[in-house]
């Protein structure tokens, strides 16, 4: 069942929460760009958590899915603050962050604010700094002029927009150029057949994290979504490895 959390400005953030006893580690899943908590990976994680007595929190960023707002108003900073507000309000105890694609970038921004509550992270085709390496100089010039950039969408009929405000905010939140002060255990999953986020981005991320406990798993025939049954099995195995089922 979907619930709603009100931010200070009144916008409602849709979420699903499987809560457990105080002190239990909560899995928090962060979807990708223009995605939501109804996706296959999010649903599989939530169902698995319920079946195995684990705590799990899913959400839709403002302007996405069932949440209030316009997608054009969304930025990494805005969505980070929504995630942190939900965690503060709904989650007791440690947090295991899981981020997919853009959610893998957002995962890092959230992790940097969680401090000792951060139990671990799992990145799925993580895409930190994609507004930097993912656009041509010509496209950056369009965004820099305050215009919206539209690109072909391989996952649907409508073009994918990048709004200038999102791009500008994201450029201020780039992380790969210096050490990332996150010391928790980390697993990074990436498909080597990913046509959207090169797998070497996960390698760069692994090198940038100060944590000595970083495992990178590459799937040679894996695509960007990593949502096949075998991919979901690897994801769940990574969750168990970081937070064993008692």
> Which residue in the list 101, 126, 202, 208 is annotated as catalytic?
101
| 194 is known as an active-site residue | yes
Q: How large is the average pLDDT for residues 196-223?
A: 98
Structural domains in the chain plus CATH codes: 3-242 (3.40.50.1820)
> Which residue in the list 163, 194, 227, 231 is annotated as catalytic?
194
Per-residue pLDDT at 246 exceeds 70: no
pLDDT number for residue 23: 74
| 211 is known as an active-site residue | no
Task: Report the Cα 89 to chain-centroid distance in Å.
Answer: 19
Q: pLDDT for 65-106, tens place per residue?
A: 999 999 999 999 999 999 999 999 999 999 999 999 999 999
| 224 is known as an active-site residue | yes
Per-residue pLDDT at 21 exceeds 90: no
Q: pLDDT for 29-74, tens place per residue?
A: 999 999 999 999 999 999 999 999 999 999 999 999 999 999 999 9
- 177 compared with 27, residue with greater pLDDT: 27
């Amino acid at each position: 069942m979907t619930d709603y959390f009100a931010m200070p400005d009144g916008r409602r953030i849709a979420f699903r929460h499987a809560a457990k006893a105080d002190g239990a580690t909560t899995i928090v899943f962060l979807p990708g760009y223009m995605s939501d908590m109804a996706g296959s990976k999010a649903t599989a994680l939530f169902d698995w958590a319920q079946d195995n007595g684990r705590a799990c929190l899913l959400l839709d960023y403002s302007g996405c899915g069932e949440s209030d707002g316009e997608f054009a108003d969304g930025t990494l900073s805005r969505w980070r603050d929504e995630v942190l507000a939900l965690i503060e309000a709904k989650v007791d105890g440690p947090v295991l962050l899981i981020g997919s694609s853009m959610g893998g970038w957002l995962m890092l921004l959230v992790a940097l604010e969680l401090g000792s509550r951060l139990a671990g992270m799992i990145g799925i085709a993580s895409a930190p700094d994609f507004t930097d390496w993912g656009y041509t100089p010509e496209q950056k010039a369009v965004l820099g002029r305050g215009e919206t950039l539209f690109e072909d969408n391989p996952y649907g009929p409508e073009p994918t927009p990048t709004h200038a405000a999102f791009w500008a905010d994201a450029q201020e939140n780039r992380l790969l150029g210096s050490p990332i002060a996150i010391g928790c255990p980390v697993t990074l999953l990436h498909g080597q057949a990913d046509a959207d986020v090169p797998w070497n981005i996960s390698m760069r991320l692994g090198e940038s994290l100060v944590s000595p406990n970083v495992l990178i798993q590459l799937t040679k025939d894996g695509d960007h979504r990593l949502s096949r049954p075998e991919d979901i099995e690897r994801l769940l195995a990574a969750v168990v490895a970081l937070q064993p089922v008692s």
